[in-house]
Structure formats: structure tokens, C-alpha cells
Amino acid sequence: MLSFNTINLSNMNDTTKILVAFAAGALVGTAVGILFAPDKGFETRKKIRKEGKKIADSMKNKFLAGKEKFDNIKEGIRQSVKEETGEFA
């Protein structure tokens, strides 16, 4: 379970805060929607697991895509610095 005690919000930028809030809202909204649906307990728990897995997979994929973009930008900067410092040597 995600705890706000383990997240240092002061070190997050606005985009990260928005993404965390969106993810938390999506999880809560999904859980509340499923809990109020007229189903048996077993079926409700099954739906919660299924929806939770879908959300977790989606967030993981978005995180990995963002990490890949960041790594590409970082490598581009590294190459640029290497080229520029080579000109001055």
C-alpha cells in the first residue's frame, strides 16, 4: 500500500504530483465503483483484482516509457557535452 509518509512531496515537481494524484484517484474510483456494484463478494474481489492489475500494468508501462524517454534525453545530453568538450581540448 502506498503511504504518503514514504513519499517526500516537497521533492516532486508539479507533473509528478499530478500523476500521483491521478493514479490515486483512479484506484479509489475503481474500488468504490466495484464495491457499490451489486455482485457477490467473490465476484467483487475478483473484479477488484482484475481492475487493480490493469491499472498497475498501465502505470508500469507509462513509467517505463517515461524512463526510456528520460534515458534517451540523458544520453543525448551526454553526447552533446562529450562533443563540445572535445572541441575545446
Please compute the mean of the pLDDT values over residues 29-56 and round it to a whole number. Answer: 80
When pLDDT is cut at 50, 70 and 90, the band that residue 12 belongs to is low
Cα distances (Å, whole numbers) of residue 76 to 11, 22, 62, 83: 25, 30, 21, 11
**Dihedrals phi, psi of 88, to nearest 5 degrees:** -90, -10
The CA distance from 46 to 59, in Å, is: 20
Residue located via cell numbers 477488484: 48
pTM of the model: 0.47
pLDDT beyond 50 at 41: yes
The CA distance from 43 to 80, in Å, is: 55
pLDDT beyond 80 at 5: no
Give 68-83 pLDDT, tens digit per residue.
999 999 999 998 888 8
**Sign (positive/negative) of CA torsion 66, 67, 68, 70?**
positive
Mean model confidence pLDDT for the chain: 79
Domains of the chain, residue spans:
13-88
